[in-house]
Structures are given as structure tokens and as C-alpha cells.
Structure 1
């Protein structure tokens, strides 16, 4: 018996799509950065460098021993001496100039009552220039055998045995005798007068704050009134004193209590 057989070929596996292979040596393209952004980055980097440099220089200047204070120059003194000012500022010596403030100087000079204010200037590498603005004396106050030079606030600036050397009016009794209010009213009037008028006065007094009177060395009386409009009164009085004298009708009283309508008699 013959048995026929047929060979059935193996079925080929289902076709799978081939994977895409990445070409060897492939390159990813990079787009150039916009010019504006690159420029901003450069500017910011440069600015940062400059700021860092400035900060470094400032720090070096503030703490540098090369700028340490060595010399104190003093001008404008009369009642105090430059040596007194320099001694008072001695704690600042050796401190770098950039670290010294005006308040530092004012604080150290507070003990010198004659000093009203100061102007300070640093002059590298090692000098501090101090211009002193002293209080201005406006009157003399008799205390025993001496006379005190006082300013408008009643601050004693100096003493003298001879009032003629000061060319200032004498306030009768001073604050202790006439009271603080009358003393201040009188001193405020004197503080408004120019130096040439002050030099012509012999004394000042006040019965009340509204009745300040001045006496000239020639014996003439100035009726001032109160301290209001003192600048205008000072100008009117200065003009009256410059007017030609009339020998037949000498002036005994200058009344500037109402400065827009002054009276002489």
C-alpha cells in the first residue's frame, strides 16, 4: 500500500515593520540666541563687574589706614583757640576720614559753649578741615568786678575787666536781676543790631518785654518797644543814626517802637 504524503511548507512569520535606524553621526541643530538677549547679558555682566569693583574700592577707602586722620586744621576761632578745638577732636585721630561724620565732630565740640556750629571738610589723604562758627556776643553783664560777654541766648562766651575793650552795651543786672524773660527780650533786640550800632550803645534795659530801651554813649535814648519786627527796627534805627545832626535841635530820643512811623524828639 502506497501512502502518499505531501510536504506542507512552513508558514513564514508575519511581516513586522522594520525599525527606523538613526543614522550614525546625526547632528542636532542649535539656533543662534537673539542679539538683543546676548547684548543684555553682556551689559548685565559688565554692570555687575563695575558694581563689584566700586564696592571693593569704597570698602578699601573706608577702612584704609592710608586715609587715617593725622592733621586737624581749625579756622574761625576767636573766643576759643585752635588748640582747644584740636584737643576736643583728639579721639578722631587715626580714624579713616570716610568714617568721620559731621555729627562726630559736633558731638565732641559740644563742651565748648562758644562754638555754635561747625563746617567739616575731609582733605585726603589725612587732613580734616574744621571751620568754627562761634556765638556772637551782643552784650556785657556785670558780675562783681568783671563783665561777662554773652550772646542772645545768655551764653557766657568770655570775661573782661574793662568793658571799653568789648564795645558792647551793658545789660543792667543781667538775667539774675531782671529775670529770664526780660533778659531774653533785651538780648534778642541787641542781637538784631549791626555791629556798628552795637558799638555806639552804652547799656540796655527793659521795664517789661514790651518796653525795651537802649542808651547811646552820647546819652541819647532809643525807645525800642518789644522784640517784634526787630530787623525792620534795626534798619530804621541805623538810618536815623546816620542822618545829619542839627546843632539847634539835637535829638535826645529815637523812637522806633512803631518802625513804619519812627519819631525823633
Structure 2
């Protein structure tokens, strides 16, 4: 029996509709399977943890602090929580935690680095670029400058240590010859930093601002025979015998 064109068109449209429905059902089923695979199955669960960048910290210390949940689906691992726990370690400066699919959590650490040392609470402590006293030494390290700061308020002390560290970092990077002349750095506040040079000379540095300009001015001033050089206001430097 031959169908008339109208009936054939209806049948064709019906077939296309069922095909579209079947495709939609398959797509939903596929999406559901994918969600289950990523979020709930053990196929993409945590199996390994990689730690990079540590120098003084032990692998076990980092892993113990990280508390990475082994066996949990990778997509459900709280990376920020892991970062927060590792960042609480005294020697950690920065940390980044990421997923390395299919089954590895990667931890990249940058440890704090001592810029100067100071006596804090009767102990020789290493101070990092942020003014944090993060480690102890049995004796003063010979490769670091001493920061002489006697502030008792912890917040003021950290800010002053940070300012001193910024000055030392600037001098280290821009004027190594001057660095070799410095015996110690002292400060009564973050805005009153002084460099104690060899031969009994002193540089009044002031705050950590305008370090580059101060170095240029100081380079010229040191040609003058003086006991005290003041570059705290670099556009109006002074010397004193």
C-alpha cells in the first residue's frame, strides 16, 4: 500500500521526534554518568600527593599539615583548605595547591628565606622579607646582617623588621659594595632605620621608601670623610663629622 505524501510526512516527522527524544535521553544519561565519574566514583579519586619547592621542611611535615584526603574524588578536594593548613607552617612563605589529573594533588611551596637576624626573646632568630621571625639559630649566622631592634610591641616590631628587610634586600640587589661595608642595621621604628658601617660610620636611612634614590645619593656622600651620613630626605642629604 502506498502512503499519500501527507501521511508519509507525518510518519517522517514522528520518526525525527523520537530520534530527538532518544538523543536527549542519551545526552542526559551521559551527563549523569560523567558527573558520577568525576564527583562520586573512585576512578578519579586521590591516589598521590606531590610536594615541590621545600628546602628545610621535611616531606612528612608538609603531608601531615596538608591532610589531603586519600580516596576522595579529585573534584571534591578542598584545595583552599589544604593551602590554609600548609600556610600555617612557620617556614612557609607561599603555597599553591592544584589538581594534577587524573589522581594526583600537587603542592608547590616557597619557603621563607632569612634576610637578617635579630635577637628576639633571648634567641637568635632569622627574619624574612615580611618581618616574620620564622626560625632559630644556635649562633649568629655569618652570612646575614644583624638587625638591632628592641621594640616590645609585636605589631610595631614586625613592621620595623619588615622595613629593615626591605632596605637590606634593596641594598643587596643594587649596591653589593655598600652591603660589604655594613656591620649591622638598627631601628627604633620603621621610619628610623640606620646603617652601621665599618670605621665607625653611620648612615641615617629613615624609612624604607625611595631606596633607589637614597643609594644614588649615598654613593656620592661616602666620598666625603664624615662620621654620619643622612639620606633620610634624599633630596636634602647631610653629613656630620
Task: Look at both structures and tell me which one has the larger radius of gyration over its CA atoms.
Answer: 1
The RMSD of aligned alpha carbons is 3.9
Which residue in the other structure is 1:211 paired with? 192
Question: TM-score when scaled to structure 1?
Answer: 0.65
Shift of 1:160: 0.9
- Correspondence for 1:197: 171
Q: How does 1:1-265 map to 2 (within 5 A)?
A: 32=9, 46=23, 49-50=26-27, 52-143=29-120, 146-151=123-128, 154-173=131-150, 175-176=151-152, 179-180=153-154, 182-193=156-167, 195=169, 197=171, 200=179, 201-216=182-197, 219-227=200-208, 230=209, 233-239=210-216, 246=223, 249-250=224-225, 253-259=228-234, 261=235, 263=237, 265=239
**Corresponding residue SS for 1:191:** helix
Distance 1:213 1:40 in 2: 84
1:60 CA drift (Å): 0.6
Does the CA-based 8 Å contact 2:125-2:133 persist in structure 1?
A: yes
- Give distance in 2, aligned partners of 1:254 and 1:48: 82
- Alpha-carbon distance between aligned partners in 2 of 1:52 and 1:252, rounded to the nearest angstrom: 83
Distance 2:79 2:98 in 1: 9
Task: Rate the CA distance shift 1:59–1:224 in 2: closer, same or farther, 3 A.
Answer: farther
1:92, distance to aligned residue in structure 2 (A): 2.0
CA distance in 2, matches of 1:235, 1:158: 30
Q: How far does residue 159 in structure 1 lie from its aligned partner after superposition?
A: 0.8
Structure 2 unaligned residues grouped into runs of 5+: none
Which residue does the alignment assign to 1:14? none
With over 3 angstroms needed to count, the CA separation of the structure-2 counterparts of 1:164 and 1:109, relative to structure 1, is: closer
Residues 145 and 161, structure 1, Cα contact 8 Å, conserved in 2: no
Greater helix content: 2
Cα distance change of structure 1 residues 239 and 64 upon mapping to structure 2, 3 Å threshold: farther
Task: Summarize the Cα distance change of 1:105–1:224 in structure 2 as closer, same or farther, 3 Å threshold.
Answer: same
1:43-88, Cα deviation, whole Å (9 max, x unpaired): 7875664454234213212223233323222122234233310222
Secondary structure, counterpart of 1:131 in structure 2: strand
Q: Matched residue of 1:65: which SS?
A: coil
Q: TM-score normalized by structure 2?
A: 0.70
**How many aligned residue pairs are there?**
227
Name the SS of the counterpart of 1:235 in structure 2. helix
Query: Partner of 1:137: helix, strand, or coil?
Result: coil
